[in-house]
Chains A and B, each alone.
Chain A
Amino acid sequence: MNRDGATTLLGYLAGFALLFLVWHLAAVLLVRSTLFPPPWPVLERGWVLLEDGLLQESVLASLRRILQGFLLGSAIGIPAGLAIGSFRWVRLLLEPWTEFFRFIPAVAMITVSVIWFGIGEESKVFLIAYTTVFVIIIATAAGVGAVTPDKIRAAQCLGASRTQVFALVALPATVPFILTGMRLAMANSFVTIVAAELVASNDGLGKMLWDARLFMQIEDIFVALVTLGLLGFATDRAFRLLIRAFAGRYNPTM
């Protein structure tokens, strides 16, 4: 495990080094424009923003919104998905909802949400929850459906009640699916928060991008982009670790 971890870390470091190298070469040799700065000045600018505390502020503002909306969306999505997966009549009742709203992207809901909730926190939290909830519902319901009948029968002939079958078999068997849904939803959240903050916000990474565009601070734009990439990468790895803890033992591809 330790050697495995070290190999992974080395591989990732090399991958990032290559990314920055390609970026550098592209900027210095190919594009040669002030509109596409090489990595070094961007990192320098990022350091300055960190020292001023401005970057942390934006990151925290965005992450807080993501976390709140994501938790709200999960809190609604997981029980709803479990119910849809467990009971046919709930599925028939709620499928029109999921299949309807799933195709109205969160970005399209920005205008409505700003009209409803203003440009403050509520509109962002609403949008993140919105973008999260349907992905999680669908993943969770699919997970419940994928529990093999033998697992349930085995519990029944060991004396399990209906509640026990649900809590001790169906639920744990569904956890990897729920986590996969959350992982996808988290990626959606990053897309949505930037879009929402671009349109209407007083702080956050999206606002930082917008302001930098207004004032033609090209390095600031790139600092925001790199930060988004790194944050997304980190949260996705965290989810993968979680999924692996539950599912990796029997699904090495996760």
Chain B
Amino acid sequence: MGGAAAYPVALDGGWRLALVTLEAVGKTFRGRTGSWEAVRDFTLDLAEGEFTCLLGTSGCGKTTVLNLLAGFEAPTTGRILLDGIPVRGPGAERGVVFQGHDSLYDWLSALDNIGFGLRLRGVPKRERRARAGHFLAMVGLEGQGAKHPAELSGGMKQRIQIARALAADPRILLMDEPFGALDAMTRATLQGELTRIWAETRKTVLFITHDIEEAVALSTRVAVMTRGPGGTLKAVIPVDLPFPRDRTSDGFMAVFRQVHALIHAEIVAPPARAEIDA
């Protein structure tokens, strides 16, 4: 890493213009077996430069929120604004890092995968290679650019995905449990790398996860969702701790406990009022 990296400090309570606004967003899927509510009345602002983790139990609708923001799905109710403009369909200003590494192009080298977004814009090959090389180095894969996805490990593929999304220079980076399928050691390494990359690029990030420790380690605030179906925002917990995070510090533990209590209440479903009375 070298030198003291300038990690941004989470601004808490300060007035900042929202980059992304989700306003009372709801999504109901209609299938053959009837309709099914994935997200209900979800409202959240994402400020420029902020790293938000969206945390929730499995099936709470957190990935649906990301898909709506990415433009892969259209909300049934409410609206999503980016820079005050409603989101319609996917676009280059919202980069996505997918959970699986299925999204990489097997027939392209790592470098060409990273430069794919630049190729779409007609950036000349030489410049494309140079810029892709910059992001390849940023994700710690210098010298691995000629390799194809099949020759890379799971962790390396996720690094390539992150580099590919960043190379297109999006306004916001949407990450859908990108480290979910990795082993614990690789995951911890990549979490550290992501913190460093975020500090370097100052990108606005929305990071989906169900891992409390991951959420507290990475983000400037954790948005907790209620359990599904039809999950909604339960609470937003600011994580006002210095980067890189010390996971054994008292401050970390305190936030962890706070978030854990919120999530735990969603896992252990409180019995319905009627059952208690009966």
Residues of A within 8 A of B (CB): 148, 150-151, 153-161, 164, 168-169, 172-173, 175, 246-247, 249-250
Which of A158, A159, A160, A247 has the largest number of chain B CB atoms within 10 A?
A: A158
Q: Chain B contacts of A161 at CB under 8 A?
A: 120
The reply to whether A151 and B102 form a contact with Cβ atoms under 8 Å apart is yes
Quick check: is B259 within 8 A (CB to CB) of the other chain?
Answer: no
Q: Chain B contacts of A154 at CB under 8 A?
A: 96, 98, 103-104, 164
Q: Chain A contacts of B95 at CB under 8 A?
A: 157-158
A-B contacts besides A148-B102, A157-B70, A159-B120, 13 pairs, CB < 8 Å: A148-B103, A150-B98, A153-B98, A154-B104, A154-B164, A155-B120, A157-B92, A158-B168, A160-B120, A164-B120, A168-B116, A247-B106, A249-B150
* Interface of A, helix, strand, loop or mixed by DSSP: helix
* Interface of B, helix, strand, loop or mixed by DSSP: loop
The reply to whether A155 and B116 form a contact with Cβ atoms under 8 Å apart is yes
Min CB distance A119 to B, Å, is 44
Q: In this complex, what residue of B is CB-closest to A160?
A: B120
Bound-state Cα–Cα, A148 to B149, Å? 15
Quick check: is B7 within 8 A (CB to CB) of the other chain?
Answer: no
The reply to whether A157 and B90 form a contact with Cβ atoms under 8 Å apart is yes
- In the assembled complex, 29 residue pairs joining A and B whose CB atoms fall closer than 8 Å, in A order, are A148-B103, A150-B102, A150-B103, A151-B102, A151-B103, A153-B70, A153-B72, A153-B90, A153-B103, A154-B98, A154-B104, A154-B164, A156-B89, A157-B71, A157-B91, A157-B95, A159-B92, A159-B117, A159-B120, A159-B168, A160-B120, A164-B120, A168-B119, A172-B105, A172-B107, A173-B105, A175-B107, A247-B106, A250-B150
99-142 of chain B: CB within 8 A of chain A? 100, 102-107, 116-117, 119-121
Bound-state Cα–Cα, A161 to B103, Å? 17
Bound-state Cα–Cα, A164 to B71, Å? 18
Q: In this complex, what residue of A is CB-closest to B90?
A: A156
Quick check: is B148 within 8 A (CB to CB) of the other chain?
Answer: yes
Quick check: is B151 within 8 A (CB to CB) of the other chain?
Answer: yes
Q: Chain A contacts of B103 at CB under 8 A?
A: 148, 150-151, 153-154
**Nearest 6 CB-CB pairs, A to B?**
A159-B92, A158-B117, A150-B103, A156-B90, A250-B150, A154-B103
Q: In this complex, what residue of A is CB-closest to B119?
A: A168
Q: In this complex, what residue of B is CB-closest to A252?
A: B150
Min CB distance B89 to A, Å, is 8
Bound-state Cα–Cα, A223 to B95, Å? 62
Q: Chain A contacts of B105 at CB under 8 A?
A: 151, 169, 172-173
